Amino acid sequence: MPLLTFECISSDRTEQRSLDAIELVLAGWTGRDANAVKHHIYELAALGVTPPSRTPIFYRTSVELVTQAGTLQVLGPNTSGEIEYVLLAFEDGLWFTVGSDHTDREAESTGVALSKQLAGKVIAQKAWRLGDYTAGQSKNWDALTIRSWATIDGQRTLYQDATLANILAPLTLVNAYTDNQNLKPGTIMMSGTPPAIGGIRPAQRFDMEIEDTNTGRQITHGYDIDVLPVVS
């Protein structure tokens, strides 16, 4: 099981903390806007991906896929990142950061769960306390913005850009997954992603950020994509 380390920043202190990750949950089709959800379903259907059996849906994949590294090795050229907010269940409650549910798009046409198991999940090394943004301050949560950039053929371009008002709120996802229970400490839950600007496509590098637009502070992370050859 991976032991992850974070600079955890709350309203009253900053400290280094470790999380012994035991479970990885990938939420999908989590948009609050039904039309946006349909757009993402059509976006993937164009790549041959079967529509989900329910929305939202929760995929379980190996927690060993989680990494905080700056390089991700993938097999073949048909993978891509997608930005998400990431819930982290510590013993004292939920924190969050930003991450990328990197996915094998070629395998996605065979099975979404399979495709997600075939690539790493990259998350940042800083985290904010969830309660600082949701305890009676839902507007603060909805104002958070996530953005990603893809470097393709040497050109860095904006790939995704959305406020968290477009994605189901954290406790909505947790309650749907756990049947109104708490996440077990050590659980990592990724939120699902907004649509890609210009469509899903591979890149040589993926950069991401979550920004508190009220204060200007950010959590950022990026990683290079090292494509390994497919041999037979």
Indicate the pTM of the whole model.
0.93
Bridge partners, 28 (sequence order): 57
The predicted structure's pLDDT at residue 43: 72
Q: How confident is the model at residue 39 (pLDDT cuts 50, 70, 90)?
A: confident
Is residue 232 very low, low, confident or very high in pLDDT (cuts 50, 70, 90)? confident
With a CB cutoff of 8 Å and minimum separation 6, the contacts of 75 are 104, 118, 227, 228, 230
- For residues 197 and 161, give the distance between their C-alpha atoms in angstroms, rounded to a whole number: 8
The whole-chain average pLDDT of the chain stands at 92
pLDDT of residue 136: 65
Is the confidence at residue 161, as pLDDT, over 80? yes
Task: Find the domain containing 22 and state its range.
Answer: 3-228
Whether the per-residue pLDDT at 54 is higher than 90: the answer is no
Region 151-161 average pLDDT:
97
Q: Write down the pLDDT at residue 112.
A: 85
Q: Which residues contact 67 (CB under 8 A, 6 or more apart)?
A: 2, 120, 121, 122, 123
pLDDT digits (tens, 9 = 90+) for 57-66: 999 999 999 9
90 vs 38, which has greater pLDDT?
90
pLDDT for 135: 76
Question: What's the start-to-end Cα distance of the chain, in Å?
Answer: 31
Mean pLDDT along residues 151-176: 96
Q: Other C-beta atoms within 10 Å of 20: how many? A: 11
pLDDT band at 137 (very low <50, low <70, confident <90, very high): low
Per-residue pLDDT tens for 68-112?
999 999 999 999 999 999 999 999 999 999 999 999 988 887 888
Query: What does the pLDDT average to over 142-160?
Result: 97
Domain count along the chain: 1
Range name among 60-74, 132-146, 180-194 with the lowest pLDDT average? 132-146
C-alpha 170/C-alpha 191 separation (Å) is 8
- The yes-or-no verdict on residue 144 having pLDDT over 70 is yes
- pLDDT tens profile 9-37: 998 899 999 999 999 999 998 989 878 77
Tokens of 128: 């904010």
CATH number of domain containing 221 = 3.90.850.10
